[in-house]
Amino acid sequence: MKVYFDNAATTPLDPEVLDAMLPVMRDDFGNPSSTHAFGRKVKAHLENSRRTIAKLLNVTPAEITFTSGGTEADNMAIRGSVAHLGVTTIISSVIEHHAVSHTVEELAHNGRVKLRHVDLLPDGHVHLQHLEQLLSQNTNVLVSLMHGNNEVGNLLDIEKVSQLCRQYNALFHSDTVQTMAHYAFDFQALDLDFAVGAAHKFNGPKGVGFLYHNKRNKIHPMITGGSQERELRAGTENIYGIVGLAKAMEIAYRDMEKKSAHISGLKNYMINQIKQRFPSIKFNGDAEGRSLYTVLNLAFPPELSNEMLLFNFDLNGIAISGGSACTSGSNTGSHVIRGIGKHLDHAPVRMSFGKMNTKEEVDFVLDYMATLFQNAPSA
């Protein structure tokens, strides 16, 4: 049996999405910027896709710009805020994805902004009182805090952060890569300035995503050239990808209730089984509280925390991960686990579930984990 429990890294393409992309790939080769019929046909795909996404998020099409994925959209929001919206201080956290953390660190390093990190609570959640304190002490602020943490699954109280940002007149960017199309956003009700999506995290194609930018902010292109994307992102659009992105998003919203119930069921089953069968395994982050239903991060006991751990899962047909960039099986690779500062002598093992996973697969992984404990030196 082969088990893929690395859906936070990427997800398999939904066959319905492929079916939507194939005719466009095969037949509709025009350049959407061309004014002849070939181009106009493709332009219609582009704008229909934008409309679909805008409608699902309850925003206007002009507030959606297609990008190459989450990283580019995060960069566009952060760099654009500093270059064009007068931001001089960024408030962020040490557990952001590198798409955000490396971007804000570079801007701070080059003297473009002051960077302030908000404190974290022992379970890895953002310390909201400290955030408020930082907001009250700084002006011209961009708050950049991720909605769902890709390694430990913690969910930000995004409504509260939005409200604080409004109260203190700060811009708010949330890296929503792990929550987009997994939770139903309504950006009329939830007031933020920037949010992002990456199709490959919700059974769409890789290399395509979007930035949502609230119309009250006038942003400028980060990539310059032609006038594509309403002059906000130059370069001929990835039409097949964009069609796939919109289709994946449509399917995700259509099936959201069923899908989230199914995936939550798998995660909860795994948590309960682990508590019963392997009580020495701990959970990183707030696994049983405010947490993504797709992500479960296990802290393996020290006697099993060796550099072979992840490799052995892989050898036994189980695809999991040690975090976003950690492949060593030791926790030194995860800036998120280090940032939270708990279970540091325990190897983190992230299991992330998707709609195509089954309970049989969870049982298979649990049975494999039982063999690890049987063979452990002093378990």
Ligand X SMILES: Cc1ncc(COP(=O)(O)O)c(C=O)c1O
In the three-class reduction of DSSP (H, G, I as helix; E, B as strand; rest coil), residue 72 is classed as helix
SS3 annotation, 245-288: HHHHHHHHHHCHHHHHHHHHHHHHHHHHHHHHHCCCCEECCCCC
Nearer to ligand X, 146 or 232 (CB): 146
Instruction: Please state, in angstroms and rounded to a whole number, the distance separating the CA atoms of residues 364 and 293.
Output: 20
CB of 103 to ligand X, least distance (A): 11
Q: What is the C-alpha R_g of the chain?
A: 21
Strands (E) in 128-266, as ranges, are 141-144, 171-174, 194-198, 209-213
Contact between 97 and ligand X by CB under 6 A: the answer reads yes
CB of 150 to ligand X, least distance (A): 3
Nearer to ligand X, 89 or 101 (CB): 101
Instruction: Please state, in angstroms and rounded to a whole number, the distance separating the CA atoms of residues 252 and 230.
Output: 27
Contact predicate 341/155, CB 8 Å: no
**CB neighbours of 129 closer than 8 A, spacing ≥ 6?**
none
- Position 159: which residue type? E
Which position among 42, 118, 326, 347 bears the catalytic label? 326
Count of alpha carbons within 13 angstroms of residue 36, beta-carbon side: 5
CB of 140 to ligand X, least distance (A): 25
**CB neighbours of 367 closer than 8 A, spacing ≥ 6?**
none
Site string for ligand X, 206-225 (x = CB under 6 A): ---x----------------
Number of residues that bind ligand X (CB under 6 A): 14
Angle between helices 37-57 and 239-254 (to 10 degrees): 30
- Position 138: which residue type? N
Q: Is 326 a catalytic residue?
A: yes
Instruction: Please state, in angstroms and rounded to a whole number, the distance separating the CA atoms of residues 180 and 367.
Output: 32
Owner of token pair 């959407």? 32
Nearer to ligand X, 69 or 285 (CB): 69
Among residue numbers 282 through 341, which ones bind ligand X (CB under 6 A)?
324
In the three-class reduction of DSSP (H, G, I as helix; E, B as strand; rest coil), residue 194 is classed as strand
Contact between 99 and ligand X by CB under 6 A: the answer reads yes
Contact between 78 and ligand X by CB under 6 A: the answer reads no
Query: Using CB under 6 A, which of the segments 114-122, 162-170, 174-182, 309-317 binds ligand X?
Result: 174-182
CB of 370 to ligand X, least distance (A): 30
Instruction: Please state, in angstroms and rounded to a whole number, the distance separating the CA atoms of residues 293 and 22.
Output: 31
Site string for ligand X, 58-77 (x = CB under 6 A): -----------xxx--x---
- Position 236: which residue type? T
Query: Using CB under 6 A, which of the segments 52-60, 170-178, 302-310, 340-348 binds ligand X?
Result: 170-178
CB of 35 to ligand X, least distance (A): 32
Instruction: Please state, in angstroms and rounded to a whole number, the distance separating the CA atoms of residues 190 and 196.
Output: 14
How many Cβ atoms from other residues are within 10 Å of residue 99's Cβ?
22
Nearer to ligand X, 95 or 299 (CB): 95
Site string for ligand X, 145-164 (x = CB under 6 A): -x---x--------------
Site string for ligand X, 19-58 (x = CB under 6 A): ----------------------------------------
CB of 302 to ligand X, least distance (A): 28
Query: Using CB under 6 A, which of the segments 83-91, 175-183, 230-238, 250-258 binds ligand X?
Result: 175-183
Nearer to ligand X, 42 or 237 (CB): 237
Site string for ligand X, 177-196 (x = CB under 6 A): xx------------------
Nearer to ligand X, 278 or 353 (CB): 353
Q: Which residues are catalytic?
A: 326
Task: Report the interface residues with ligand X, using CB under 6 A.
Answer: 69-71, 74, 97, 99, 146, 150, 175, 177-178, 198, 209, 324
